Amino acid sequence: MEMNIGEMHPHEKCIICGSELYVTDHGNHEITYHCSSDAARFWDYDRGTIEQAKAKEHWDKSRLEVYLTAK
């Protein structure tokens, strides 16, 4: 299974808001996904603000790790 950073994953949805997840990291046998919604884009908020903390929490809770197995 080849996935690229930023690639959307239409089969999995964010547990918080229902938005599609996208690839944020991949390694040897795992792929990490996070929420694609604006509400999870913590880097768009000023550092140390309540809004940034809420967005970061959304981002963190949306994380999905898929472990791949060899066939």
- How do beta strands 8-13 and 64-67 pair? unpaired
- pTM score: 0.82
Average model confidence (pLDDT) across the chain: 89
Identify the CA nearest to 2 among candidates 32, 24, 31: 31
CA–CA separation, 64 and 9 (whole Å): 11
Rounded to whole angstroms, the Cα distance separating 3 from 35 reads 16
Average pLDDT (42-68) is: 96
Name which of 7-11, 14-18, 40-44, 55-59 the model is least confident about. 7-11
C-alpha–C-alpha distance, residues 6 and 24, integer Å: 6
